[in-house]
Amino acid sequence: LAKTTQPISMDSYEGQEVNITCSHNNIATNDYITWYQQFPSQGPRFIIQGYKTKVTNEVASLFIPADRKSSTLSLPRVSLSDTAVYYCLVGDRSGAGSYQLTFGKGTKLSVIP
Amino acid sequence: DGGITQSPKYLFRKEGQNVTLSCEQNLNHDAMYWYRQDPGQGLRLIYYSQIVNDFQKGDIAEGYSVSREKKESFPLTVTSAQKNPTAFYLCASSITQGADTEAFFGQGTRLTVV
């Protein structure tokens, strides 16, 4: 099963760009990389997904190098409302051939005024 | 509005009682999941289902049971065999279980066993 490694926590000041890196050395050829955001006492919310190179949406950018063994979530000009836990997921195919959507402990981002 | 609904939001039970948590989705999704989250921890997978009448154990299935009799519904029963049932429970669904799947989560049920 694919496994991801992220920093446990990060601090940032308001208005700065934040980059959270995720390592996934055992990523498989067919796996996508997906990031979720979770606020306290709420369910996680999908942020962005990519397979290679760069993906950008209205919320974030995702950078994936050619070897795909890591990825970086970039949040431009963070605000206090971006304080949350961010999870990186890669495809986690079970023996039965289905994806289990396995979450790690995530990265707790604290945005400071 | 389409979405995934968990009920109730808060649930209290006495030790030794079974309790069932509800999860309903009207997104026409095939796959559904149950997770448990303890304070300061990530999500741990309890059970998941790819299709009606089929489900598989996740990483921490002991003490839990599920059913998937309808596509829209995936109830989770926390049995008396679960040693530490107090936790935040999250249900999710996705259109399939493909490599590019996006999961949609409910708002969670916070279960307290006293």
pLDDT one digit per residue (tens) for chain A, 113 residues: 558 999 999 999 999 999 999 999 988 888 889 999 999 999 999 999 999 999 999 999 999 999 999 999 999 999 999 999 999 998 766 555 566 778 888 999 999 99
- B interface with A, Cβ–Cβ < 8 A, is 31, 33, 35, 41-45, 48, 50, 56, 58-59, 88, 90, 92, 94, 97-108, 110
Cβ-Cβ contacts under 8 Å between A and B: the total is 69
Q: Cβ(A45)–Cβ(B105) under 8 Å? A: yes
Q: Could you identify the residue written with the tokens 């070897």?
A: A67
CB contact under 8 A, B99 and A93: yes
Calculate mean pLDDT across residues B64-84. 96
What is the average per-residue pLDDT within B30-34?
A: 93
CA A46 distance to own-chain centroid: 9
pLDDT at residue A63, as a whole number: 97
Q: Quick check: bond before A76 cis, omega within 30?
A: no
Q: Which is nearest to A34 in space by CA: A93, A87, A78, A70?
A: A87
Out of A42, A98, A101, the one facing B108 most closely (by C-beta) is A42
DSSP annotation of B23: E
